[in-house]
Structure 1
Amino acid sequence: MSVSAFAAAQWTRATGAGVDPHEYRRVTDGLSSVADWGPSFLRTGHGYLERAQDAGSSVSAGAYLLMAARWFHLATLAPYAEAPRAAAEADHALGRALTVLEPGARRVSGEGFTGWLRGPVDAPGTVVVVPGLDSAKEEFLDLVSALLARGIAVFAMDGPGQGVLAATTTLRPDYEEVVGRVIDALGVARVGLVGLSLGGYFAARAAALEPRVAAVATVSGPFHLDWEELPPPVRDIMARRAGGPDAAREFAHHVDLAALAPRIAAPLLVADGGQDVIPGVTNGEPLARLAPHGTYLSVPHGDHLLGNARPDWLLHVSDHFTHTLPETQT
């Protein structure tokens, strides 16, 4: 794939993650090949670290650090030998930002997970944000902010094979085990889950098998994967994150919610984009239909992760937890 085609394919994902669209174009227009992607995005992130160091206020410094975290995370989207370093820098920049902007934010880590718990200690509920195949806790800061604005506590996490843990762990299908350990570590009775992309599968599976999941939403999550039909770039990413082609194939065979969907007792919102058509991926409509309390939100013009249609789903998902999660805490 040419670098211009790769940049175009990542356009709405990058802007959905919160980087300035004009700066994104300036950075990607200067690339001569996909191999330049990681180094260039790392340099851009380091530029924001320098701005943070010279900022005239802690608020500005924190904002620059959050932007650095976004650029460092986006550096990992192209095949790049320094991707683990970029993920580590994203993690570090996010931690520095929250230390400055939200001193009450708490790092919580355990076997197979790490992340940040943010929000009021007396929140009516807690939502766990679950990333996907090559996403991370630094990618969905706008969703976290929307949930925090409603008074909900939010734990944005990396799980096995994700974000800063991708260097030392691999993807695993039994994500309900990870979610169970997260709930224990957070010290709450029940949680909401929102999963994005492959995280939608993780969230739905956990909602079916972990009884302490009280509300759930998926965004561009797969109902089923067919390894033989998946595009080569998706297979390659899965192989890197799962520990090799054979492990990736085995992992993909587990991604099927047909038997689990009827076991999801929690209120479920499934959001999909009508333009999100990836060979080998069955979108979430069957999940919403088979779940006892499922609702389907289809955005006809939306692409994968609905980065081109944020007003059409972001507030709906936030409202879903506002209306359902407090009711389940009583």
Structure 2
Amino acid sequence: MSAAGFAADQWTRAVGAGVDPHEYRYVTGGLGSVADWGPAFVRAGHGHLRRAQDAGSSRSAGEHLLTAARWFHLATLAPYAEAHRAAAEADRALGRALAVLEPGARQVSGEGFTGWLRGPSDAPGTVVVVPGLNSAKEEFLDLVSVLLARGLAVFAMDGPGQGVLAATTTFVPDYERVVGRVVDALGVPHVGLVGLSLGGYFAARAAALEPRVAAAATVSGPFRLDWAELPRPIRELIAGRAGGTDAARRFVHQVDLTDLAPRITAPLLVVDGGRDVIPGVTDGEPLARLAPHGTHLSVPHGDHLLGNARSDWLPRLGDHFAHALGAGEHPCQNVC
């Protein structure tokens, strides 16, 4: 694929992750090939680190650090030999940004997970944000902001084979155990759980098997995967995160929510984009239909992760968790 074609394919994902669309066009417009993607995005991230250093206020510095974290993460979307270093830089930039902007944010790590807990200590509920195949906690900062604005606490995490942990760990089939350890570490009685892309499968599985999941949502999550039909780039991505082709085949074989969906007793919102059509991937409609309290929100013009249709689902997802976890309505919600 040409660099221009790859950049076009990633356009709504990158904008959905919060980077400036004009800067995105500037950075990707200078690419000679897809191989240039990673280095160019890392340079963009370093540019924002320099702006943070030269900023005239701590607020501006923190905002540049958040932007740097986004660029470093997006550097990992194309094949890149230094992807592990970019993921580590994204992790560091996010930590530095939160230290400036939200001194109360707390890093929480344990076996197979790491992330940041944000929001009020007396929040009525906590939502755990689970990334997918090649996403990470730095990609969904805007989603976190929507949940924080509704008075919830949020733990955005990297799990095994994800984000900063991708260099040292691989996917695990029993993600519910990871979520269980997260809930233990957070010290809360229950959580909401939202998973994006492959993280939607992780979240749905955990909602079926971890009784402390009190509300759940999936965004562009698969109901079932078929190895033989998956496009080659996706098979290669899964192999890289699962620990080889054989491990990837075994992992994909387990991605089937047919038997687990009826066991999800928590309120469940399933979000899909009508233009998100990937061979070998069954979307979330059967999940919503089989779950006792499932609701399917299909946005006809939405693509994968619905970065091109955020207003059609993101506020509703925030309200879903606010209502299910007892946050009620944010006092500014109807007037701001």
Shift of 1:293: 0.2
Q: Which residue of structure 1 lines up, in the alignment, with residue 270 of structure 2? A: 270
Shift of 1:172: 1.2
Q: How many residues align?
A: 328
Letter aligned with residue 89 of structure 1: E
Q: Which residue of structure 1 lines up, in the alignment, with residue 223 of structure 2? A: 223
Q: Which residue of structure 2 lines up, in the alignment, with residue 152 of structure 1? A: 152
Local SS of the residue matching 2:4:
helix
CA RMSD of aligned residues (A): 0.9
Determine the C-alpha separation between the residues in 2 that align with 1:236 and 1:299: 29
Local SS of the residue matching 1:14:
helix
Pairing of 1:201-220 with structure 2 (within 5 A): 201-220=201-220
Shift of 1:123: 0.1
Q: Which residue of structure 2 lines up, in the alignment, with residue 93 of structure 1? A: 93
Determine the C-alpha separation between the residues in 1 that align with 2:326 and 2:194: 15
Q: Which residue of structure 1 lines up, in the alignment, with residue 323 of structure 2? A: 323
Determine the C-alpha separation between the residues in 1 that align with 2:2 and 2:67: 26
Determine the C-alpha separation between the residues in 2 that align with 1:191 and 1:267: 12
Determine the C-alpha separation between the residues in 1 that align with 2:176 and 2:233: 27
**TM-score with structure 2 setting the length:** 0.97
Determine the C-alpha separation between the residues in 2 that align with 1:42 and 1:160: 23
Local SS of the residue matching 1:185:
helix
Local SS of the residue matching 2:137:
coil
Pairing of 1:192-207 with structure 2 (within 5 A): 192-207=192-207
| 1:44 matched to 2:40 | no
Determine the C-alpha separation between the residues in 2 that align with 1:236 and 1:31: 23
Local SS of the residue matching 1:214:
strand
Shift of 1:326: 1.9
Determine the C-alpha separation between the residues in 1 that align with 2:263 and 2:42: 43
Q: Which residue of structure 1 lines up, in the alignment, with residue 333 of structure 2? A: none
Local SS of the residue matching 1:36:
helix
Gapped runs of 5+ residues in structure 2?
A: 328-336
Pairing of 1:102-181 with structure 2 (within 5 A): 102-181=102-181
Pairing of 1:256-295 with structure 2 (within 5 A): 256-295=256-295
Determine the C-alpha separation between the residues in 2 that align with 1:38 and 1:60: 25
| 1:234 matched to 2:234 | yes
Letter aligned with residue 101 of structure 2: L
Determine the C-alpha separation between the residues in 2 that align with 1:148 and 1:173: 30
Local SS of the residue matching 1:123:
coil
Letter aligned with residue 169 of structure 1: T
CA offsets 1:100-136 (integer angstroms, 9 cap, x no match):
0000000000000000000000000000000000000
Shift of 1:325: 1.3
Letter aligned with residue 285 of structure 1: E
Shift of 1:2: 1.1
Determine the C-alpha separation between the residues in 2 that align with 1:325 and 1:231: 38
Q: Which residue of structure 2 lines up, in the alignment, with residue 29 of structure 1? A: 29
Determine the C-alpha separation between the residues in 2 that align with 1:10 and 1:149: 27
Q: Which residue of structure 2 lines up, in the alignment, with residue 66 of structure 1? A: 66
Shift of 1:12: 0.4
Shift of 1:194: 0.4
Q: Which residue of structure 2 lines up, in the alignment, with residue 254 of structure 1? A: 254
Local SS of the residue matching 1:80:
coil
Determine the C-alpha separation between the residues in 2 that align with 1:308 and 1:211: 34
CA offsets 1:280-306 (integer angstroms, 9 cap, x no match):
000000000000000000000000000
Determine the C-alpha separation between the residues in 2 that align with 1:278 and 1:141: 25
Q: Which residue of structure 1 lines up, in the alignment, with residue 6 of structure 2? A: 6
Determine the C-alpha separation between the residues in 1 that align with 2:69 and 2:82: 15
Q: Structure 1 runs of 4+ off > 6 angstroms? A: none
Local SS of the residue matching 1:139:
helix
Shift of 1:156: 0.1
% identical aligned pairs: 82
Local SS of the residue matching 1:13:
helix
Shift of 1:320: 0.1
Determine the C-alpha separation between the residues in 1 that align with 2:125 and 2:213: 11
Determine the C-alpha separation between the residues in 2 that align with 1:138 and 1:111: 20
Shift of 1:226: 0.2
Determine the C-alpha separation between the residues in 1 that align with 2:94 and 2:211: 31
